[in-house]
Amino acid sequence: MKYSFNSRIRYSEIGENQKLTLPALINYFQDCSNFQSEELGLGIEWLKEAKRVWVLAAWQIHVNRYPVMGEHTVISTWAHGFKAFQGMRNFTMEDEKGEMLAYANSIWVYMNLETGRPERIPEEIVERYGLTAEYPAEFGSRKVSIPAEGREEKEGFTVKEYHLDTNHHVNNGQYIQMAQGYLPADFEVQDLRAEYKQQAFLGDRMIPVCYMTQDGYLVTLNNEKGKPYVAIEFK
């Protein structure tokens, strides 16, 4: 089933250009899915008691227009598919006239915290969320290919407490914000694909590696062995 909430763009959510930032847009999408889960009785406390967690495997986001400060918006989300241990979810942000500002597709993995492994999604969860038709847009592959050449390694940094969420790992939106910091200041992201490959925790080291692509940039955030936590394509 579709879930929506209304909001208004706040000063704390905009950048120097007075537009909503990309990390703030992602936070709206995350909040929307969390609000739905809470209303369905499948929220943070339920997951904690069940020792289960949803881990994001992939994002794809397209932005038609970034709303400006004070603009009224409607944020929506719905599940459009479940397969074994994966759940597929769409998101949209519209203005008060119904103009589509941004839309997204995402793939989530249902994890058992006691075993540390993916687990088949129970039918009860599928029934509570229900299914709504997938948003009618062309989404690319969930896999983000890393170029063989042109890598530019940046200075590494350590994961801090403010990077973490209630699952005690780096929040998926934080990865995007970290990576976006390596883009040119005047580059406005219209399309984003992110493939999450492993979780990062407090104290882990991250080594950013940047690539220039034909129509944008690609940033990987790697561990000290060179294995990516995430690969993010910006266009």
Residue 171: inside a domain, yes or no? yes
Residue 64 lies in a domain: yes
Asked if residue 136 belongs to a domain, the reply is no
Residue ranges in the chain assigned as alpha helix (H): 22-39, 44-50, 123-129, 172-180
Tell me if 140 is assigned to some domain.
Answer: no
Q: What is the pLDDT of residue 148?
A: 87
Q: Are residues 103 and 168 in the same domain?
A: no
Which token pair is 125? Answer: 């969860």
CATH assignment of the domain containing 213? 3.10.129.10
Please name the residues in contact with 171: beta carbons below 8 A apart, sequence gap of 6 or more.
30, 163, 164, 165
Which residues form the domain of 203?
152-234
Looking at the domain assignment, is residue 146 inside a domain? no
- Looking at the structure, do residues 13 and 120 belong to the same domain, yes or no? yes
Give yes or no: residues 120 and 158 share one domain: no
Instruction: Please give the pLDDT value at position 166.
Output: 87
* Residues 35 and 110 placed together within one structural domain of the fold: yes
CA 159, CA 170: separation in Å to the nearest integer? 8
Residue 143 lies in a domain: no
Considering the domain architecture, whether residues 103 and 26 belong to the same structural domain is answered as yes
Look up residue 232 and give its amino acid: I
Query: Is 138 within a domain?
Result: no
Does 189 lie in the same domain as 109?
no
Same domain as 157, residue 215: yes
Mean pLDDT, consecutive 10-residue stretches, the chain (235 aa), reads 97 96 97 97 96 96 98 98 97 97 98 95 97 94 92 96 91 94 95 96 97 96 97 97
Cα distance between residue 23 and residue 34, in whole Å: 16
112/8 same-domain check: yes
pLDDT value at position 213? 94
Given 114, 129, 144, the domain boundary residue is 129
Number of domains in the chain: 2
Give pLDDT, residue 167: 85
Phi-psi domain of 90 (left: phi exceeds 0; alpha: psi -120 through 50; beta: other)? beta
- Pairing mode, if any, of strands 100-112 and 52-63? antiparallel
In a domain, 112, yes or no: yes
* Distances, alpha carbon 19 to alpha carbons 15, 66, 118, 125, in Å: 6, 6, 38, 36
Q: Which residue type is seen at 86?
A: Q
